[in-house]
């Protein structure tokens, strides 16, 4: 696919690049942790070439679309790239608090929007050990990655604006141009990173504004999950636009503290797979592997691998095998969140009810039951089913009717 952002911009000259914006670019590289500091030693001409802000046409360097988008003069962007518009809006009820349209270069827009969001992103402090940490209404990393994605992946050949809207329901970031070929709602987190404007995306990464791995979507989901909030929503995206919605929601503080503690204990961030599984089990309480795959749209093999790691780490407990395998959050999560009663409800109460459920099924089958019946009824492993049957035999409630591979048991009438 042709990279529009790498093409020379018709009618643009080097005079259309703003020296003040280049100063801004250098400052961003210096201050952002992901910025390539080696770029700072380059003179302006070489810096422009390195970031593909310019390209050679017939022996002369001229600005590329990327160059004009990042450091072009505002009035020339409006004239030569009229599609490169952006809008920032804040609504309280039906009252418009902020409504700004702009043709400013992206580096300036990015910094401006960060400043604007600070005024509309209240933080709540919570105790974490000896410290008090702020929990924002909208996660900062998720906002930045959402904004970067909107600017980098929009279709600059289409009219329309990148739009940031903050209202009573949450934050919406939208851009013209639907998902590129091969990307859809079900594979957002698994598809190989590739964008509509590779030159622009690469420059943003090297400057330090975008995720180096191209997995900014992971950061967007992580920003909601680590606070126990609803996941980001792309469901209103169409073939003409991509729309990200981040819902306003109260943070689940016990869950957020647990995630923070576990990341500190492991000395690294939890993977997006682990975070999504924790989130599903926190909401659903009990899930089969099949159900987790359905809810997350992640590959079954990766889900199973992540669950095994989580079992070893004590994050998850599982029972049953194959399709009957079910998972719940581990004992330590319930304990640390002071939810021991809920843990018992999810585990011990089930095991207490098992014998009565088995007897009820046997009585509805003319007093006969098999081990396979018990496996299917309780969704447990063969060994667990055998343990339940042996318990009932020991209590004199069941007796072996016929042995062998397909053993049958009969209810003992009192």
Q: Is the pLDDT of residue 344 over 60?
A: no
Q: What pLDDT does 167 receive?
A: 96
CA distance linking residue 268 with residue 180, whole number of Å: 32
Closest residue by Cα to residue 171 from 240, 90, 235, 113: 90
User: What is the mean pLDDT of the segment spanning 284-303?
Assistant: 89
CA distance linking residue 92 with residue 99, whole number of Å: 12
DSSP element (H, E) containing 241: strand 241-247
In three-state secondary structure terms, 85 is: strand
pTM score, two decimals? 0.79
- Can you say how many angstroms the Cα of residue 95 is from the centroid of all Cα atoms in its chain? 31
Could you give the domains of the chain?
A: 4-70 (no CATH), 85-247 (3.30.565.60), 253-346 (1.10.10.10), 350-411 (1.10.10.10)
Lowest mean pLDDT among 102-111, 162-171, 264-273: 264-273
User: What is the mean pLDDT of the segment spanning 18-47?
Assistant: 95
Q: What pLDDT does 140 receive?
A: 93
Q: What pLDDT does 245 receive?
A: 98
CA distance linking residue 191 with residue 188, whole number of Å: 6
Q: What is the mean pLDDT of the chain?
A: 88
**Cβ proximity of 242 and 150 under 8 Å:** yes
CA distance linking residue 81 with residue 355, whole number of Å: 72
Express each pLDDT in 376-394 by its tens digit: 888 777 888 888 999 999 8
CA distance linking residue 318 with residue 134, whole number of Å: 34
CA distance linking residue 153 with residue 368, whole number of Å: 63
Question: Please, which pLDDT band fits residue 271 given cuts at 50, 70 and 90?
Answer: very high
CA distance linking residue 77 with residue 67, whole number of Å: 10
Task: Please report the DSSP string for 219-256 in residue order.
Answer: HHHHHHHTTTPPPPB-TT--SSEEEEEEE-----HHHH
**Cβ proximity of 282 and 292 under 8 Å:** no
Residue 22 tokens read as: 């280049």
CB-neighbour burial class of residue 370 (10 A; exposed 0-12, middle 13-18, buried 19+): middle
Express each pLDDT in 84-118 by its tens digit: 999 999 999 999 999 999 999 999 999 999 999 99
Closest residue by Cα to residue 162 from 83, 216, 95: 83
Q: Name 328's bridge partners.
A: 286, 317
- Can you say how many angstroms the Cα of residue 158 is from the centroid of all Cα atoms in its chain? 28
CA distance linking residue 315 with residue 308, whole number of Å: 10
Question: Please, which pLDDT band fits residue 345 given cuts at 50, 70 and 90?
Answer: very low
């Amino acid at each position: 696919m042709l990279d529009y952002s790498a093409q020379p911009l018709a009618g643009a000259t080097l005079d259309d690049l703003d020296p003040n914006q280049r100063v801004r670019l250098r400052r961003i590289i210096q201050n952002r942790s992901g910025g390539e500091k080696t770029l700072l030693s380059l003179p302006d001409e070489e810096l422009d070439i390195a970031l593909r802000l310019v390209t050679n046409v017939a022996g002369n360097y001229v600005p590329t679309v990327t160059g004009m988008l990042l450091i072009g003069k505002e009035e020339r962007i409006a004239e030569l790239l009229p599609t490169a518009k952006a809008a920032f809006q804040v609504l309280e009820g039906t009252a418009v608090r902020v409504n700004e349209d702009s043709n400013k270069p992206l580096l300036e827009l990015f910094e401006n929007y960060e400043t604007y969001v600070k005024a509309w992103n209240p933080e709540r402090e919570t105790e974490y050990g000896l410290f008090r940490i702020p929990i924002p209404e909208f996660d900062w990393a998720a906002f930045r990655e959402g904004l970067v994605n909107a600017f980098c992946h929009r279709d600059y050949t289409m009219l329309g604006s990148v739009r940031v809207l903050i209202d009573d329901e949450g934050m919406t970031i939208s851009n013209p141009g639907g998902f590129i070929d091969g990307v859809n709602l079900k594979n957002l987190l698994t598809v190989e990173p590739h964008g509509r404007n590779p030159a622009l995306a690469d420059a943003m990464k090297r400057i330090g504004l975008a995720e180096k791995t191209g997995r900014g979507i992971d950061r967007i989901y992580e920003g909601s999950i680590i606070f126990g909030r609803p996941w980001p929503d792309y469901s209103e995206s169409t073939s003409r636009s991509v729309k990200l919605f981040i819902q306003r929601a109260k943070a689940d503080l016990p869950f957020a503290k647990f995630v923070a503690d576990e990341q500190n204990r492991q000395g690294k961030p939890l993977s997006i797979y682990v975070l999504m599984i924790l989130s599903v089990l926190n909401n659903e309480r009990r899930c089969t592997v099949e159900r987790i795959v359905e809810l997350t749209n992640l590959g079954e093999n990766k889900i199973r691998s992540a669950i095994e790691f989580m079992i070893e780490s004590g994050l998850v407990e599982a029972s049953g095998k194959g399709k009957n395998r079910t998972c719940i959050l581990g004992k330590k999560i319930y304990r640390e969140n002071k939810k021991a009663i809920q843990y018992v409800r999810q585990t011990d109460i089930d095991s207490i009810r098992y014998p009565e459920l088995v007897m009820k099924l046997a009585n509805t089958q003319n007093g006969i039951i098999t081990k396979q019946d018990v496996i299917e009824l309780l969704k447990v492993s063969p060994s667990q089913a055998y343990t339940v049957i042996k318990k009932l035999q020991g209590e004199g409630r069941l007796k072996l009717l016929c042995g062998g591979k397909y053993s049958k048991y009969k209810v003992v009438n009192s």
